[in-house]
Structure 1
Amino acid sequence: MSEMYHIPVLLHQCIDGLNINPQGVYVDVTFGGGGHSRAILEKLGPKGRLVVFDQDEDAWANRLDDKRVVFVRHNFRYLYHFLKYLDLMPVDGILADLGVSSHHFDVAERGFSFRFDGALDMRMNRNMKLTAADVLNNYAEAQLAELFKFYGEVTSARRLAAQIVKSREAHLFATTGDLKEIAGLFAPKRDAARFLSQVFQALRIEVNGEMDALREMLQKTVEVLRPRGRLVIMSYHSLEDRMVKNFMRTGDVTKAQAETNIYGHAEVPFKVITRKLIVPSEQEINGNPRARSARLRIAERW
């Protein structure tokens, strides 16, 4: 399953960024198909350890049969909790690939893609109650407009929200086709696919609480990483990337500028390694279109 599940993006750059100590402890908080984890294991010696996180039950099918690996079937927002429970702190490196896997987009019944007509689900963890259909059918118009604007950067967020509320009075949203039909009314002809992607992205982020989970995970890396430990994060849209960039620079996801002490020196928990953003080559993008929007940032714990 894993070979088709997901093609890892910027694989070599991610592994190089971790600066792996063969005897160290590393964490892959977005296991998915296990591509990055396998590459980490190749660098680890017999005493090295790897902890992987993934809340999606489909990822469990890709688990690695290796005594050095611990699989945590939970959201990465619980990073500190589980590492403390496992008595594996501090760790030498943390890797996060924040993009949705190829597998999710390709399985119609998961509801992540407008390319297929499937149930409006979008839950990464199918034990959660809230689905994309619940959001569309129950959220107030103002709530819908806000999530489309901030999570999807949809230009016609208010008009789209108003139309959704109007449409659900006659027919509740149940499938991705239902949403595509309504969202398509506002999509520009020249870039309809991008518009629909933004709409679906906004719903997915809301359903899975992605921004809150990312913020919680980032904040805990300060306590989890040992001095000179590496934080390697790949994001795919501007909201995530802004949070990651701010955090690596200032230690606060909401602040672009670090606070200074009475001597004018910035007190920050990380040293940014990637002064220049790392992005995929045209060759990689041609072989894996999903890589097009990938942005890799690396920082080191002081």
Structure 2
Amino acid sequence: MVRAASGVLFARPSGFSNNGQDAWLGTARHPVKDTGARAASGWLSARAPADFSHIAVEQAGGYHLPVFPVEVAGWMEACAGKWIIDGTLGGGGHSELFLKAGAAVLGVDRDPEALAHARARLGGFGDRFATWEGNFSRLLEIPAIQHGQRADGLLLDLGVSSRQFDSAARGFSFMREGPLDMRMGPSSPHTAAEVVNAWSEADLARIFFEFGEEPKARRIAAAIVKQRATKPFETTTELAACIEAAVGRHGRTHPATRAFQAIRMAVNEELDSLAAALAAAPSVLKPGGRLLVITFHSLEDRMVKRFLRHRSTPFIDDPGWPEPRPNPDFQFQLLARKAIIPAAEETTRNPRARSAKLRVARLLDPTS
């Protein structure tokens, strides 16, 4: 079974919904579409324009530089006649590789801006490319899946796209002044401002420690609660300055880095979403279908590693058993036993790929 890293889910405040899933244990029920998503404010209120046809090819390609382009193309083995689900479409870089190889692609993303951009960029592939707006935790809600179609491949590229991170209006980065938003799409139930200004000191400390692995979590949480009592936080730079004043600055890494990461992960329910997507993968793929997952954070990679290790083990054992027993969750074959890391030339070209890891598995045929 897939176990959570200790204490992570308890870090959610009371009322923080996981859509009825026991996803962390790998037993998620089918995700239910969130009908209570709040009306988007800020950048989302304007929605992305429907026509991106004016974007130059150079601009389109520069939306986000995909990581592991060679490795993803090789392990996915996309070709004519195959149907690939890109669960994290983003700028469409990986999808373009699959389409150029002849496959049909369904691009999934919760960000309307990313979807509009990808439609403009990849529209030339005609009906071999389609999109679906939604969180990848809701893969089982895709109409084609509900009607019985199964994919030859599923790609999950986790984390924030360069376009989202570099946009001040999205509020992901403390390097640019912007609103405390951090939502990856309108379905995210909270903004960063709501988390920072409304969650208790204990809840803030827990997410900083668990999601951000921040050793000074309690000090940062206390400083935030003290300052917001005078004036609620509104911008990224206000929050970053508060954190820096509380813990000081040492070395090249900004002291707000881990806290901002933790807030983003809480806002977008990233670990719950990943757990739900992993649990859904065997029902989304056809026998022989390939699952590729790219992570950028140790908690994410740990979840994927444990999930695939358990699901690729034919027998399980316990000291109290007379002999090993068949694993009822045995479904995958690991195609790469260890995580794949970027080559030096890739990290030179794309420094944001430095922490990336790729894990690859193939769904087994239950009848064989």
1:62 is matched with 118
Query: TM-score normalised to the size of structure 1?
Result: 0.92
> What's the C-alpha RMSD, in Å, of the aligned pairs?
2.1
Match of 2:285 among 203, 225, 249: 225
Q: Which amino acid aligns with 2:250?
A: K
For 1:45-194, list aligned pairs within 5 A: 48-59=103-114, 60-63=116-119, 64-65=122-123, 66-84=126-144, 87=147, 89-126=149-186, 128-185=188-245, 186-193=247-254
Provide Cα deviations, 1:122-170, integer angstroms capped at 9, x if missing partner. 0111354521011000000110011111111111111111111111011
Q: Is the 8 A contact 1:120 1:175 kept in 2?
A: yes
Q: Which amino acid aligns with 1:53?
A: V
Distance, in Å, in 2 between the alignment partners of 1:272 and 1:83 is 29
Provide Cα deviations, 1:38-73, integer angstroms capped at 9, x if missing partner. 0001112xxx42111011011122212121122001
Give the direction of change, closer, same or farther, for the CA distance of 1:281–1:125 in structure 2 (3 Å limit).
same
Q: Which amino acid aligns with 1:213?
A: S
Give the direction of change, closer, same or farther, for the CA distance of 1:139–1:247 in structure 2 (3 Å limit).
same
| Gapped regions of structure 2 (runs ≥ 5) | 1-58
Q: Is the 8 A contact 1:187 1:196 kept in 2?
A: no
Provide Cα deviations, 1:72-120, integer angstroms capped at 9, x if missing partner. 0111111111154563622111011102111011110100011101111
Give the deviation of 1:239 after TM superposition.
0.8
| Gapped regions of structure 1 (runs ≥ 5) | none
Give the deviation of 1:187 after TM superposition.
4.7
Q: Is the 8 A contact 1:2 1:34 kept in 2?
A: no
Q: Is the 8 A contact 2:315 2:325 kept in 1?
A: no
Distance, in Å, in 1 between the alignment partners of 2:149 and 2:85 is 11
Structure 1 residue ranges, 4+ long, deviating more than 4 angstroms after superposition: 83-86, 260-263
Query: TM-score normalised to the size of structure 2?
Result: 0.76
Distance, in Å, in 2 between the alignment partners of 1:234 and 1:217 is 13
2:351 is matched with 289
Give the direction of change, closer, same or farther, for the CA distance of 1:129–1:81 in structure 2 (3 Å limit).
closer
1:32 is matched with 90
Q: Report SS of the residue matched to 1:170.
A: coil
Q: Which amino acid aligns with 2:159?
A: G
Give the direction of change, closer, same or farther, for the CA distance of 1:58–1:109 in structure 2 (3 Å limit).
same
2:342 is matched with 280
Q: Report SS of the residue matched to 1:192.
A: coil
Q: Report SS of the residue matched to 2:354.
A: helix
Q: Is the 8 A contact 1:249 1:271 kept in 2?
A: no
Q: Which amino acid aligns with 1:182?
A: C
Distance, in Å, in 2 between the alignment partners of 1:121 and 1:289 is 25
Give the direction of change, closer, same or farther, for the CA distance of 1:19–1:58 in structure 2 (3 Å limit).
same
Query: Identity of aligned pairs, percent?
Result: 38
Residue 49 (structure 2) pairs with residue 20 (structure 1): no
Distance, in Å, in 2 between the alignment partners of 1:290 and 1:106 is 12
Distance, in Å, in 1 between the alignment partners of 2:311 and 2:238 is 42
Aligned residue pairs total 295
Q: Which amino acid aligns with 2:339?
A: L
Q: Which amino acid aligns with 2:299?
A: L
Distance, in Å, in 2 between the alignment partners of 1:235 and 1:257 is 25
Give the deviation of 1:272 after TM superposition.
1.1
More moved, 78-87 vs 241-250: 78-87
Give the deviation of 1:216 after TM superposition.
0.7
Provide Cα deviations, 1:155-194, integer angstroms capped at 9, x if missing partner. 111111111111101111100011111111325411433x
Q: Is the 8 A contact 1:184 1:192 kept in 2?
A: no
Q: Report SS of the residue matched to 2:118.
A: coil
Distance, in Å, in 1 between the alignment partners of 2:180 and 2:143 is 34
More moved, 75-84 vs 112-121: 75-84
2:65 is matched with 7
Distance, in Å, in 1 between the alignment partners of 2:315 and 2:190 is 37
Distance, in Å, in 1 between the alignment partners of 2:150 and 2:186 is 31
More moved, 181-190 vs 207-216: 181-190
Provide Cα deviations, 1:263-297, integer angstroms capped at 9, x if missing partner. 44444211111112211112111111111110000
Q: Is the 8 A contact 1:249 1:258 kept in 2?
A: no
